[in-house]
Chains A and B, each alone.
Chain A
Amino acid sequence: MATKLIHTPLTDFDVSELRVGDQVLISGVIYAARDTAHKRLIALLGQGAELPVDLKGQVIYYVGPAPAKPGQVIGSAGPTTSGRMDPYTPCLIKEAGLKGMIGKGYRSPEVRKAMVEHKAVYLATVGGAGALIAKCIKKAEVVAYPELGPEAIMALEVENFPATVINDIYGGDLYEEAIARYAHK
């Protein structure tokens, strides 16, 4: 099991190097966005309008952080369930050029198909380890929809943010492989 260092934004070559089960440490800027922000982004794409954030080559982290205490960059910031963003994700990959997503849990067949066809990857980080993960976030700034509170889009500057590759561009799926390997009848 390899540990790979990756920097955002990602190129087609960067994602082509990643394989299911790889441990990665991400550095650079990633964008926090979840349910309502996705809904709004897709509405804008539908109208042919410009997005508040250029997502070409970028990575979205499905997170709604806890508020920062005085002196903190951000509160606890672990992943939320990715599947809720499935209806929106293929469009963001195809039309906005999104290259990576970080969250937890299953993706739909449509999202997996879009990842293979347009070269994007899906990573998971540990759900319920939000206090630990927050240590990798060095700067956090709301860049759109501040009125959504924990659902606002934020630019997060991360250093060695740990994640595991769940779906690569070759159609692999770690969750399926894991069950095939560890289930006993």
Chain B
Amino acid sequence: MNIMARIITCSQITAAVEQLCREANYYLENDVRKALENVLAIEVSPQGKEVIKQLLANATIAADEEVPICQDTGAAVIFLELGQDARIEGGYLYDAINAGVARGYTSGYLRKSMVFPPLDGKNSGDNTPAIIHTKIVPGDRLTITVVPKGGGSENMSAVAMLTPAAGYEGVKKFVVDTVKKAGPNPCPPIVVGVGIGGNFEKCTLMAKEALLRPLGWPHPRNEIAALEKEILEAINSLGIGPQGFGGRVTALAVHVEIFARHIASFPVAVNIQCHAARHKSITL
């Protein structure tokens, strides 16, 4: 049997990544804009309302002028879903991705924020290397998602190796405490990604993947959707509000992802995302 594999070239991949880096930084996603418009009606604090209005005005300027929504154009986090029947030609996949990041951040006038070595490093000058996560999936396509992730919100993220005894209440408390501790630092209103289960690294990756789900989509499992709603209500009772100036709207959404866990472990990770929740995808 001779099956011709579907070919995706490195130059296609580089061009796609270049464009995604620029677009993710210039254009606020529609679901995020809609969420900000919705909470404008809910926010009771005048300073909080003013912040939301400024964020919406900012998004309009960024899109119209094709400039970044935020000067922190992030580390380039890239999620790949590579179909097992696809064939990459013309070079090494990760080199193609990094070439696209370097081009996108340069041609798009985006800030370069990566330094190496981490202890006392120099700026790499083109925002490489990207942080790449690859999943092998059925099929012969390649889906690329670029997530520019800023430092301010990433720094407020946390992981806890809870014990099974902590249970539902333990998870809820850890997530809400993490947001409370972060206060104004991660540019609220935030999106909160939570990973429950798996192990140490799996829960953190799920927390990040949770940020990719469109706002307004609850988890498909009813009990997890209920947990998301309950945590969101608890967070929005903290009073932090937009930018920490006070108010009801501290988070736009809480997204939880789950995985099986070891009988002895109960890992929970919280990845905090600023209001811009930047990400763009393409399928080749």
Contact = CB atoms under 8 A, between A and B. Distances in A.
Interface of A: 1, 21, 63-69, 72, 75-78, 80-81, 83, 104-106, 124, 126-132, 134-135, 148-150, 164, 174-175, 177-185
Contacts of A178: 45, 47, 239-241, 244-247
A132 B68 CA distance: 10
B61 interface: yes
B103 interface: no
A83 B151 CA distance: 13
B58 A185 contact: no
Contacts of B247: 178, 182
A126 B67 contact: no
B276 interface: yes
Interface string B18-41: 000000000000000000000000
Given A105-B152, A130-B70, A132-B54, 13 more contacts: A1-B47, A64-B111, A66-B73, A66-B109, A67-B110, A72-B67, A75-B111, A124-B184, A175-B240, A175-B244, A181-B239, A182-B246, A183-B237
Given A65-B111, A130-B69, A183 B238 contact: yes
A31 to B, nearest CB: 16
A179 B70 contact: no
Contacts of A150: 71, 111-113, 123
A167 to B, nearest CB: 12
A87 B164 CA distance: 38
A149 B112 contact: yes
Contact of B275 (A66, A75, A105, A128): A128
B190 to A, nearest CB: 10
A182 B44 contact: yes
Contacts of B61: 131-132, 135
Contact of A105 (B241, B244, B246): B244
Interface in B186-208: 187
Contact of B109 (A21, A69, A128): A69
A130 B184 contact: no
B274 interface: yes
Contacts of A66: 67-68, 71, 73, 109-111
A131 B69 contact: yes
Given A182-B45, A182-B248, A126 B111 contact: no
